[in-house]
Amino acid sequence: MPLASLAMYVSPPPIMEATRQFWVALGKRIRAHGLDAPEALDDEVRYDEAWLRPDLLFGQACGYPYVQHLRGKVQLVASPVYGLPGCDGPLKCSFIIVNAKSPAQSIEDMRGTRAAINEPRSNSGYNLFRAFVAPHAIDGRFFSSVLETGGHRASIDAVLSGEADVAAIDCVTFGNTLRFDPDCVAGVRILAQTAKGPGLPFITAAATSANDLGILRRVLAQTIADPALAEICGILSLRGISLLGDADYEVLAQLDRGATRYGYPVIA
């Protein structure tokens, strides 16, 4: 049986449950078109291990690893369009957050403070953050220290607790958290927002045929547009899809190279 994995946006709990229900509906449509599709999402394979699985039917990747390592090894199905602040069609930004009590008014005020990142492979928590800070760095440095938290929620918690002073949070993650776990973000505020780039693409294995890829795209659009799934898609803030290609995602690689030209190849 092929693999289906949607593990990029799985919190708070209403998002996880809606994602599971969305796949049930999508998988049913896929099977109706004659393709094998699992009844349920896989929750055992790590999200990043799923990306290069040869049996991957449907998954979701981060855009930065896509341009770094996945191009040519997987196929783009479509890019989701979310209806949340910070999103513009298939594009999205990250919110630079600080503690609500912070007196900072601009990123320049954060010089010499402690940054939290989720992980260096993240577009929203690292690549967009680095590109935003790069013009302000001096001799490759801007922050006094950098804490790797492992996830956006942990980065928010680090800013809340005072373990870190600033972080960059995916605007979709921030919006989902604000809607369904508002207490989590009640003690932080948005200082700024980064440049926008294409969001987390839905992907399939390189071996997926052109015919099957076309089916995936059609049924994905149909599922999102189905009035019977309006509540589920509303929870996910999923409004539609956009068919982007490698040229569209290249902007994320350009941000990477731009930071290096500023002498800021890593967040420091």
Answer whether residue 174 is part of any domain.
yes
Do 29 and 39 belong together in one domain?
yes
Whole-Å CA distances, 60 to 134, 258, 261: 28, 26, 30
- Find out whether 202 and 221 touch, Cβ atoms under 8 Å: no
Spatial distance between the Cα atoms of 129 and 134, rounded to a whole number of angstroms: 9
- Count of the separate structural domains present in the chain: 2
Do 108 and 165 belong together in one domain?
yes
Spatial distance between the Cα atoms of 239 and 218, rounded to a whole number of angstroms: 15
The letter for the amino acid at 59 is G
Answer whether residue 33 is part of any domain.
yes
Do 192 and 158 belong together in one domain?
yes
Do 163 and 222 belong together in one domain?
no
Do 34 and 130 belong together in one domain?
no
pLDDT, tens digit (0-9, with 9 covering 90-100), for 61-90: 999 999 999 999 999 999 999 999 999 999
CATH number of the domain bearing residue 158: 3.40.190.10
pLDDT, tens digit (0-9, with 9 covering 90-100), for 98-129: 999 999 999 999 999 999 999 999 999 999 99
Do 113 and 161 belong together in one domain?
yes
Do 178 and 215 belong together in one domain?
no
| Averaged pLDDT, 223-251 | 98
- The boundaries of the domain holding residue 11 are 3-83+199-253
Q: Is the pTM of this model over 0.85?
A: yes
19 falls in which pLDDT band (50, 70, 90)?
very high
